[in-house]
Structure 1
Amino acid sequence: MSNLAKLEFVALNITGKNYLSWVLDAEIYLDAKGLGETIKEANKETPQDKTKALIFLRHHLHEGLKNECLIVKDPQILWSNLKERYDHQKTVILPIPRYDWLNLRLQDFKSVSEYNSAMFKITSQLKLCGENITDAEILEKTYSTFHANNIVLQTQYREKGF
């Protein structure tokens, strides 16, 4: 239990629910420590760097996953195995933020800051799944969801490029 308190970020769950965020966290951390190349194909990293990366990755796995990966001695192979096993999460998660994006309306929120928070959460999830949302699309989404009473305001905002 004391090991859990020392984690730099949440360990990869055996179900893979947090795989997408775990991958980003692991890549960022490995890059920060100068070990980012150890998880790439055909890398020429030193055995010491590979071992450091492997220790770090194994430390951030659920106990059940650790047991399944006991014989893996190369961080690139471990990374590839996890990707093969969990990368489908993008296709599982993607319909939810798409649905939320389609049904996002400014008038459903009490304040603009609540709307912005929800919108940025949805766009972040879409980007995480590989769908790029541009600033123009975000603005158009906001304009198009103004309440019908605010058509003049909507038009003025579009013209001014707010």
Structure 2
Amino acid sequence: MPWIIDVKMHLESMGISNTINENNDCSTQDKARAQVFLRKHIDEMLRFEYLDVTDPSILWNHLKERFDHEKEVILPNARDEWRTLRFQDFKKVNEYNSALFRICSQLKYCGHDVTDEDMLEKTYSTFHASNITLMQQYRMQRFTKYSELNACLLVAEQNNELLMKNHESRPTGSVALPKANAINVYGPRNSTRGRGRGRGRRRGRGFGRCQFNRNQNFNSSRGRGNSYNRGRGQKRNNYHSPQRNNSQPQEKAKVARHDAGTSQKSDATCYRCGSTGHL
């Protein structure tokens, strides 16, 4: 059928379409042009079989007698495909349209016309059972052409694919996690830690020595560390080591007796204040 339609259109465009009709009065030149065109566009075996035929109308009739029985062969198959055609068996609307129009073309070629009402009813009646409500909504639109229903089906299919794509990218109930800011999370913590470390270095310098040398004799320590340890560092020492607060008076008494005994034995001047009587 497509070959017959194409040949007729080409001959019409060349102005020699009457050459394939019986009892035509076309010129010999037009018949020769039509004969060359037909022989060029038929199968090679047919070309050798009809090698002695020079009239295009005779060649056309021979081809028609040989292949015109295809209508009787195509018609039962086309009817069966039309009967079993269902819209729910196709995943895409375009796939359904391709099958629908192919079957309709075969039926028309065999002499059975298919109207828009037939195509609309075939589509409505073959919706999936879960889409009954959607089918009723399409029926209420009262389409008169299948092209109108086809446009609505294509738009609905595209919207459905978009919804499914968005749902799969982020399922229901899932929320995107906020971006973490390293400055906000760790900044105050680091700054507090820095300030605490700074205070420890300034105030707890002697205290750290005391903790390190808590089991050693405090009289052996000399210089600034010992006096500083007895001053500002002593407060933090009391907080962290309450057990040592009880021994502070005894240690002070030992230091006082040591200073008193030393002052009696030596008259050297103090290396710090310059007075005599103590080291």
TM-score normalised over the length of structure 2: 0.49
* Mapping for residues 29-68 of structure 1, pairs under 5 Å: 29-68=10-49
Which amino acid in 2 is paired with 1:43?
N
Structure (1 or 2) with the greater helix fraction: 2
Deviation at 1:158, TM superposition (A): 2.0
Superposed structure 1 runs of 4+ greater than 4 Å apart: none
Unaligned runs of 5+ in 1: 1-19
1:122 to 86, 91, 103: 103
Aligned equivalent of 1:81: 62
Which amino acid in 1 is paired with 2:22?
E
Aligned equivalent of 1:135: 116
Structure showing greater radius of gyration is: 2
Deviation at 1:93, TM superposition (A): 1.6
Which amino acid in 2 is paired with 1:58?
R
Residues 71-109 of structure 1: CA deviation (Å, up to 9, x unaligned): 211100110111111100111122222111111111101
Distance 1:118 1:61 in 2: 28
TM-score normalised over the length of structure 1: 0.82
Aligned equivalent of 1:16: none
**RMSD value, Cα:** 1.3
2:129 to 145, 148, 155: 148
Structure 1's 63 and 111: CA in aligned 2 closer, same or farther, altered over 3 A?
closer
Distance 1:59 1:31 in 2: 17
Which amino acid in 2 is paired with 1:160?
Q
Aligned equivalent of 2:266: none
Deviation at 1:156, TM superposition (A): 2.7
SS of corresponding position for 2:111: coil
2:77 to 93, 96, 105: 96
Aligned equivalent of 1:15: none
Distance 2:4 2:23 in 1: 19
Distance 1:114 1:25 in 2: 25
Which one has more relative contact order, counting CA pairs under 8 Å at least 6 apart? Answer: 1
Residues 94-138 of structure 1: CA deviation (Å, up to 9, x unaligned): 222211111111110112222112111211222222221001100
Task: Calculate percent identity across the aligned residue pairs.
Answer: 55
Distance 1:23 1:111 in 2: 31
Distance 1:113 1:58 in 2: 37
Distance 2:134 2:36 in 1: 57
Distance 2:32 2:81 in 1: 42
